[in-house]
Amino acid sequence: MDGIQAKILVADDDNMVRTTVSKILEMFGHTVTSVNDGKYVEEVVDDSFDVILLDINMPGMDGFETIRILNELDHEIPVIFLTGAGSMDYAVKAINLGAYDFLTKPIEDLDIFNVKIRRAIEKRMYIRRERHYKRELEDDVRAKAAELEETNKLLLTYSHSLENATVQLMTSLQNAMEEKDFYTAG
């Protein structure tokens, strides 16, 4: 999995942390966009991002409000909360709001950091594959429904034609019977 390159959004109001985390991620081969406030996350985020690293305590829009907005945008991008506040209450709240994981800063173990990033990337890849398969299935269902509708139209046309032919045949038989009775006098 070391060859995976991802697009990662880092949001932290501390310039030193933001720069350090960005450099570490770039060292691992990722493309990084960094912002200093949650409101900028809302402005720059799109479906092309693979992971979002989000500080909890930021001026303006904090991490909790930011993840609520991200949930509404429905990009399904794994969010890892990155905060100096190592409170278990924060971790529980973050996970309850839909965070994928939680890390405390400063980042002391790069291996653990890298593993958590890779797992979040894998989750994002899974989400994308699932969306792709879902779209393919929906397209297949639409195509099959259109085929069935066309087949139903043909069957309806054939049914009407058969019904008309049957009526004509019955009318012809009835006319022939009446003609026979007229000529045979009986």
Tell me which residue of 22, 47, 50 sits closest to 36, measured CA to CA. Answer: 22
Please give the backbone phi and psi of residue 42, each rounded to the nearest 5 degrees, phi first: -60, -35
Token pair of 127 as six digits? 């989400």
Q: What is the mean pLDDT of residues 119-135?
A: 94
pLDDT at 170: 86
pLDDT-based confidence at residue 182 (cuts at 50, 70, 90): low
Question: Can you give the three-state secondary structure of 111-149, one letter per residue?
Answer: HHHHHHHHHHHHHHHHHHHHHHHHHHHHHHHHHHHHHHH
Q: What is the mean pLDDT of residues 56-70?
A: 91
Listing from the earlier edge strand, what are the strands of the sheet with 51-54? 31-35, 7-11, 51-54, 79-83, 101-104
The answer to whether residue 17 scores a pLDDT higher than 50 is: yes
Q: What is the mean pLDDT of residues 123-137?
A: 93
pLDDT-based confidence at residue 176 (cuts at 50, 70, 90): confident
pLDDT at 15: 94
The answer to whether residue 43 scores a pLDDT higher than 70 is: yes
The answer to whether residue 3 scores a pLDDT higher than 80 is: no
Average pLDDT, the chain: 89
Domains along the chain with CATH numbers: 7-134 (3.40.50.2300)
Cα separation, 175 vs 181, whole angstroms:
10
pLDDT at 86: 62
Residue in this structure with the two tokens 């291996």, named with its chain if needed: 111
pLDDT at 164: 83
pLDDT at 155: 87
In tens, the pLDDT along 98-115 reads 999 988 888 889 999 999
More confident residue, 49 or 179: 49
Q: What is the mean pLDDT of residues 157-175?
A: 84
Q: Please tell me the pTM assigned to this model.
A: 0.74
pLDDT at 66: 94
Is 38 within 8 Å of 11 (Cβ atoms)?
yes
Residue 4 in 3-state DSSP? Answer: coil
